[in-house]
Structure 1
Amino acid sequence: MHSAIESLQGQPFFVRRWGDPALPRLLLLHGFPEYGGAWAEIASHLSQHFHCIAPDQRGYGQSWAPEGVENYAASSLIGDMVALIGAEQGPVTVFGHDWGAAIAYGLAMFHPHLVDRLIIANGVHPVPFQRALASGGEQSAASQYIPWLRQPGVEAELSANGFEKLQALFATHMDMSWLSGARLQAYKAEWARPGRLQAMVNWYRASPLQVAKPGQPIAMPALPLARLTVPQPHLLLWGDGDTALLPETTLGLEEFAPQLTRITIAGCDHWLHHQKPKDLAEAILNWNP
């Protein structure tokens, strides 16, 4: 692995790279509350076939973390990765998980010339996700952590007692045996960097997603449906035990992704890239759209 601070739009971003730079490029976009190092396991399986590029996204790890919720609007977060891909001189395959999937979808939809293929692991397209959040059903109930995270001062609660609540937040009913020992200490070191926890939560605060209360559906906000199509070949990898993102969050995805391939990874959950990295890598390498 090679890692370095790289300048994107004049700001410092920490980027990890695995594999020969001459290989096809694979941009790996992490979610909450991870960082670029979260991709180390899957990169070990893919770096013979791809030049894997894993940035700490804005507000995370060792990358730029400006103050102010307005700095975490989706357009700005996507713009960071537009700059990174632009520096690579040509389209790349983009692989996103969780919040990284939101940025990956944004790249594919709004900057299609920069993305040749789209891979998502337990992440969601904005339209099916907003539909599920607005329904007042099971996904609305599962996503009540979103309005909780948007509360002022929640960072102090998350960091108390060695980040006890932050760990509990993303461990609910899921297998977290992968996050222990030296790896857990590495995550805590990233979370403890000054201003990072606030910046990470600002991704939620800046998001326009509306979350209904259970049993109280809300009207769907207006969305630019015609602009939200994924024209590239699209692979969706899904851990079937995810309790944070339920299957309903991908209902109707084919409407927006006509070249969609779905693969279920059995026996894992939202953290499938840690639990079964070899299975994910094999699915990616065997995908021939």
Structure 2
Amino acid sequence: MSVTQMENLQVEHHCATVGDSRVHFVTAGQGPALVLLHGWPQTWYSWRKVIPALSQRFKVIAPDLRGLGDSSRPRDGFDMKRVSGEVAELLTGVLGLKEIYLAGHDWGGPAAFALAAFNPGLVRKLVMLDAAVPGDGSGTYNQNGRRWHHAFHQVMDLPEALIAGREDIYYRYFFKQFGFVQDAISEEDIAEYLRTYRDIGTLRTGLGYYRAVPQTVRDNEAWLRENRLQMPVLAYGGGEAFGRGEEGFTSLQRVATDVKGGVIANCGHWVQEERPDFVVQEMVSFLGS
């Protein structure tokens, strides 16, 4: 175990073997368990601005998702049922938790949905930030092509050939163009993300999330034919730049019975980094009610 401390952020680092993976995760605080799932091209570090406040009320657990960050790089298994199953085994099998609060951003959103759907009774309340659910019946997970990189990433071999050696250029584009608050992700923050995303293995595993979308859609569609999420759900999307706006909220309305939320003004896609105070306020109010 090691400790990261910067400004008012202090987290403990851990690693656990779960199935065919070594999972890296950080923890902070005491109280009811609150699990935070990150997206692409990011790591647990995307939650750094909200962890200090949330850890005053909750035991925060933020893993690096399968194949990303400082977790290991398995060859396959990047559909959301497999990704969320690994998180579920970490939480229940390794940490011995019976129930949790859960939040997800970007790919962490579909992973959070799958964790809630395929593990009945584990998730008490769910928060979705700028995320929609593949297979929700709308067919618009890629925003009708607006998120052009979804289709590009699903092409075999070509993205690797074009991105390898140019990771700084490629990932930096998303950090700069998908956000609205331009100083929300600093050069130091980008360097931390690139620390693991420059690895050729991370290029493969990150693309694997997009290539597994058809399987994720099949799994979700099968579950949704007979089920809806029953726990309370809070869903917000960024209102500017490449934020999803109301799409996340309407997506969750299709798959859950109790949904609140809306659009965050003056915010793009990187919600918890662009508007951390708003996120903390809304999460604490929702989870504590």
TM-score for the superposition, normalised by structure 1: 0.85
Identity %: 23
Q: CA 1:261 to 1:250, structure 2 compared with 1: closer, same or farther past 3 Å?
A: closer
Q: Per-residue deviation at 1:242?
A: 4.8
What is the Cα-based RMSD across aligned positions, in Å?
Answer: 2.6
| CA pair 47-92 structure 1, distance change in 2 beyond 3 A | same
Structural mapping, 1:66-145, within 5 Å: 66-68=74-76, 71-86=77-92, 87-128=95-136, 130-133=138-141, 139-145=143-149
Distance in 2, matches of 1:173 and 1:46, equals: 25
- Cα distance in 1 for partners of 2:97, 2:164 equals 40
Show CA shifts across 1:183-215 (max 9, x none). 12111111123511111111101111799xxxx
SS of 2:50's equivalent in the other structure is: helix
Could you tell me how far 1:246 is from its partner in structure 2? 4.8
Q: 1:67 Cα deviation (Å)?
A: 1.9
- Name stretches of at least 5 consecutive residues in structure 2 with no aligned partner: 1-10
Indicate whether 1:149 and 2:153 are aligned. yes
Query: 1:93/1:221 Cα in 2 relative to 1: closer, same or farther (>3 Å)?
Result: closer
The equivalences for 1:51-70 within 5 A come to 51-68=59-76
Query: What does 1:218-237 align with in structure 2 at a 5 Å threshold?
Result: 223-224=221-222, 225-237=224-236
Q: Provide the secondary structure at the position in 1 that maps to 2:281.
A: helix
**CA separation in 1, counterparts of 2:162 and 2:137?**
27
Q: Which residue of 2 aligns with 1:216?
A: none
Q: Residues 156 and 187 of structure 1: is their aligned pair in 2 closer, same or farther, counting only changes over 3 Å?
A: farther
**1:33, distance to aligned residue in structure 2 (A):** 0.6
Question: Hey, what's the Cα distance between the residues in 2 that align with 1:17 and 1:104?
Answer: 18
d(CA) in 1 for partners of 2:251, 2:21? 38
Hey, what does 1:18 align to over in structure 2? Answer: 28
Alignment of 1:1-289 (within 5 A): 1-9=11-19, 11-20=21-30, 23-68=31-76, 71-86=77-92, 87-128=95-136, 130-133=138-141, 139-151=143-155, 152-172=157-177, 174-175=179-180, 176-208=182-214, 223-224=221-222, 225-243=224-242, 245-248=244-247, 250-251=249-250, 253-287=252-286, 289=289
Change (3 A) 1:181 1:252: closer
Normalised by the length of structure 2, the TM-score is: 0.85
Of residues 78-87 and 91-100 in structure 1, the stretch that sits farther from structure 2 once superposed is 78-87
- Contact kept? 2:249, 2:261, Cα under 8 Å: no
* Count of paired positions: 273
CA distance in 2 between counterparts of 1:123 and 1:28 reads 13
Contact in 2 for aligned 1:237/1:280 (Cα 8 Å):
no
Name the CA distance, whole Å, in 2 between partners of 1:133 and 1:11: 28
